[in-house]
Chains A and B, each alone.
Chain A
């Protein structure tokens, strides 16, 4: 049972902006960087955002991350059909001494 929660789904039409929330606690999001991963069934997970708001090379600038207190957000602007995937936030938890992942949000492009 994950200690970091996300809405189960989010949707938008092509070109729209979608925001995914990620709610944790003082011991994880509140005190550590947040990372975001894109999971597509049958493929290796993809790092989208690291250190809360940093994009690895090769990730489009349509993806952006932010954090406030014990919550974080991933925004996808200019939504595209290939953005249909599951998105998970993640952070290190100082109390559990473990990395924790969010419950995941399925993004649907209508």
Chain B
């Protein structure tokens, strides 16, 4: 069955970087897109970006994350990585990866979420 399994919770100090992994299984990795979405406490989800694995690994990031987010992938392990740099307190959130069938515009499977806490 389709699974997206994320790395565990982390606590980071302001200014640090954090990398979250999203290991996928149960489907052909390179035939889909993988998105990153976060939800801060008390707020709605916020889309961060996407890697289009079936489209030349093209990456699109939300404007507010450009320059601070890096998305990479390892095809040999069907894993996507998302690194957020220069973290600050308002980056405290649950971060999710999610799968999209190309150009369907919806996310059919999600990871379990990774809680990132930024605190000095």
Interface residues of A (CB under 8 A from B): 2, 32-33, 35, 37, 39, 43-47, 50-51, 56, 88, 90-92, 96-104
A-B CB contact pairs (8 Å), 7 listed: A44-B96, A45-B110, A46-B110, A47-B107, A97-B63, A99-B47, A103-B44
- By a CB distance below 8 angstroms, the chain A residues around B112 are 43-44
Q: Tell me the bound Cα distance from A51 to B105 in angstroms.
A: 8
A35 with B44, Cβ < 8 A, contacts A45-B98, A97-B60, A98-B62 known: no
The reply on B46 being an interface residue by CB < 8 A is yes
Measured between C-beta atoms, what is the minimum distance from A4 to chain B in Å?
8
- A32-B63 in contact (CB<8A): no
- By a CB distance below 8 angstroms, the chain B residues around A88 are 44-45
A47 with B45, Cβ < 8 A, contacts A98-B62, A99-B35 known: no
The reply on B108 being an interface residue by CB < 8 A is yes
- B104-A45 in contact (CB<8A): no
- B111-A33 in contact (CB<8A): no
A56 with B45, Cβ < 8 A, contacts A98-B62, A99-B35 known: no
- B63-A35 in contact (CB<8A): no
Interface string of B1-31 (1 = CB under 8 A from A): 0001000000000000000000000000000
A32 with B98, Cβ < 8 A, contacts A88-B44, A102-B44, A104-B44 known: no
Q: Tell me the bound Cα distance from A102 to B4 in angstroms.
A: 24
Among candidates A33, A47, A92, A99, residue contacting B108 with C-beta atoms closer than 8 Å? A47
Sort A-B residue pairs by CB-CB distance and give the 6 closest, nearest first.
A99-B47, A50-B106, A101-B45, A35-B106, A44-B110, A45-B110
- By a CB distance below 8 angstroms, the chain A residues around B4 are 44
- By a CB distance below 8 angstroms, the chain A residues around B107 are 35, 37, 45, 47
